[in-house]
Amino acid sequence: MTAPRLMGGLDPDGNLKAIIVTPDGRLQSSGGGDVGDGGSSEIVQRLEEIRDASYEIRDAVNALRLPNTKTSPIQTSGSGDKTILVGGAGDNAGKQIRIHSLNFLASDVTTIKFKFGSSYVATGSMSLVSFSSDYTHPMIVPVDTNFIINVMGEVTLNGYVIWSC
């Protein structure tokens, strides 16, 4: 004979109730049947504490998420200016682009510079000497302005950018 199993459930009014599943498959809700010396209310209280804790965890996780975050590919070849994100188009129109991080994979050693439209960003040059690099410093691109990577050598540059607006 197997032991009864404790489960949680909602009554028709939406209240959390302890439910016991007996070895023969019958259900007993809190306050019904033989559930022991007041254990039923203690079980319901514990289930409510677990529920409340799960809501706190959910809210904390949601607070850490970046709103409307998008991931876009970086796929370029050759040298010169490469437009990565287009400002002022579609959903980006009239908004700043917030760049959260970039990841690169270059086919050879090269140097890159970031640009907002035609203006270089104050970050200066970035050498990609290990063929792979992450850039995790947030940047805010001005309203309706393209985000451009200027590639200094004849290389293929792949990766992705995580951004929002």
| pTM greater than the 0.85 cutoff | no
**Any idea what DSSP says for residue 117?**
T
User: Which stretch of DSSP H or E encloses residue 18?
Assistant: strand 16-21
Q: How far apart are CA 115 and CA 85, in angstroms?
A: 11
pLDDT at residue 11, rounded to an integer: 60
The pLDDT profile of the chain, 165 residues, written as one tens digit per residue, is 466 666 666 666 666 666 666 777 666 655 544 434 444 566 667 767 777 777 777 776 666 666 678 889 999 999 999 999 999 888 888 989 999 888 888 888 888 999 999 999 877 788 877 666 777 788 999 999 999 999 998 998 888 898 988
The per-residue pLDDT for 35 is: 39
**Kind and range of the H or E run holding 141:** strand 139-141
Domains of the chain, CATH where assigned: 5-64 (no CATH), 70-164 (2.60.120)
Q: Are 138 and 162 in contact (CB under 8 A)?
A: no
